[in-house]
Amino acid sequence: MKNTSKRINQGANDYVIYSDQTNTIKWSLSVKNPVPTVNNRVFEQFDQVGIIELMRVVNQETNFFDEFTHFQSKYQRTQPNLNDILACILGNGTNFGLYKIANISDRSFNDLRATQANYLRLETLRAANDVISNKTASLPIFEYYQIDERGQHGSIDGQKFECRFSSLMARYSPKYFGQEKGVSAMTLVLNHIPANSKIISADDHESHHIFDLLYNNTSEVKPDILSTDTHGANRYNFAILHFFGYQFAPRYKTFKDHFEKMFQVENAEDIEQLISLRVPIDWELITREWENICRLMISLGQHKTSQSVLIKKLCRYKSNTATLKALAEYDRAIKAQYILDYIDSETLRRHVQRALNRGEAFHQLRRVIAETNGKKFRGSHHAELTLWNECARLIANCVIHYNAQILSELKEFNEHEGRSENLEALKRISP
C-alpha cells in the first residue's frame, strides 16, 4: 500500500493520477484489445483438411481413440469401429445428432446408436480430451504461449447456448435467448488449450463453479494464475483459490467501484499514506477462526459435498457467523493486495487481458462448431447436454492440436534456419 501510494504521489504511475486539489484519483486502466482474426495468413498457405481426416491425424499422434472402452468390463478388450466413434463425436459436437449424421454418411444409425451407448461416456470423452490436451502441451510451440513467467496463466469464462428442447438445466435469459431457454458452457482455457468444461444453467452465477473447474481438472494442463471477468468473482473466491495454491486475477468491469469500496484516498503529508483501507483487516478474527476455515476448505477438497453447491450456499448466507466473517476478511486481505498490484502493474493488467482474450478466441472456435447445424443444443437432460458439450470440446481440441503441430514444425524449421524474425512472428499466432 505504501509503495502504491508513493508511486501515485510521485507521478510514476501514468494510469492513476492523483489530484491534490480535489483529493480524487483519475483512472486510465483500460487495456486495448487486439482485433481478433479467425484465420491467420500462415494457415491459408496450407490445403484445407476435412474435420474427420483431421481427427484421424490427431488420433495417429495422440492415440486418444484408446480411451473409448466398453462400459461392461467383460467387453473391455472389444475395440469399437473408429469410423463410428468419429461419426458419433462429430454428430453430437456439431448438433446434428446421430440420425442425421447416419443419413448424410455411410454409417448405420443402429451402429452409431450402439457405439454411443457402449463407448461414449462422460469419463471416456474427458479422458480422450485429456490425452489431446497433454499432447498439445508437450509440443515445441507451447512454450511460446507462456503469458507470465511466474506460472501458467489461464482463464475461465462462460458461453451461452440456446437449447432446442426443454430441460431442468435450460433457463430463460432474455439478454441471450430472447423468449427461449438455454445453458452456459464454462471452459477453463490455458495457453489456448480447453483443459476442462462444464455445463451450468444460464441463470447460475459463474463464480460458484470456478473452483469446481479448477480443482477437478484431470489433465496435466494446470494453471497457477486464473483470470475471469466480473461474473467469476464473489466474496470468497480470492480466499478459496489462495488456500488451494491458485492466484485469482479477475478483470473487474467497474474497477473504480471495487477500489473505492475497499480503499480511501487521503491528502496526507506523508506520500506513502495516500491510500488506506476504509476498514482495517481483522487479522485477530482470522487467526482465531483459522482452524474452522481449514475444516471448511478440507471439506471442499475431499468432495464430501458438491463443491459448486457448497460455494453457492456460502455466498448466499449472511456473514453472521464468526467463521464466515473470518473467511470474508481473509478474502478481503488477498483482494486488497491484488487491487493494489493491478493499479501499480501495467504488466499484470496486460497479462489478465491476454488470458481472457485466449478464452474469447476459443469461444469463436466453439461457436463455429456449434453453428454447423443451427447453434442449438439438442440434449433433453443434463447428461446429454454434458456429453454433447464434451464432444464439441474434443473437436475443438483436435483442431487446436492439429494447428499447434503445424506451428511447432514451423518453429523447428525456422530455428534450424536461424530466422529469428519468423520465430517472433510465430509467437503471435494462435492455433
**CA 93/CA 147 separation, integer angstroms:** 30
Task: Return the C-alpha cell found at 270.
Answer: 506523508
Mean pLDDT for the stretch of residues 12-40 = 59
Residue spans of beta strands (DSSP E) within 279-347: none
Mean pLDDT for the stretch of residues 189-198 = 93
pLDDT in tens, 284-315: 999 999 998 898 888 888 876 667 777 777 77
Could you tell me which of 150, 146, 180 has the C-alpha nearest to residue 163?
A: 180
Q: Which residue has the higher pLDDT, 268 or 346?
A: 346
pLDDT of residue 8: 61
* pLDDT(375) > 80: no
DSSP assignment string, 215-283: HT--SS---SEEE--GGG--SSHHHHHHHTT-EE----TTHHHHHHHHEEE---SSGGGSEEESS---H
pTM above 0.75, yes or no: yes
Please state, rounded to an integer, the average pLDDT across all residues of the chain.
Answer: 83
Q: CB-based burial of residue 117 (10 Å sphere; 0-12 exposed, 13-18 middle, 19+ buried)? A: exposed
pLDDT in tens, 111-122: 889 988 988 999
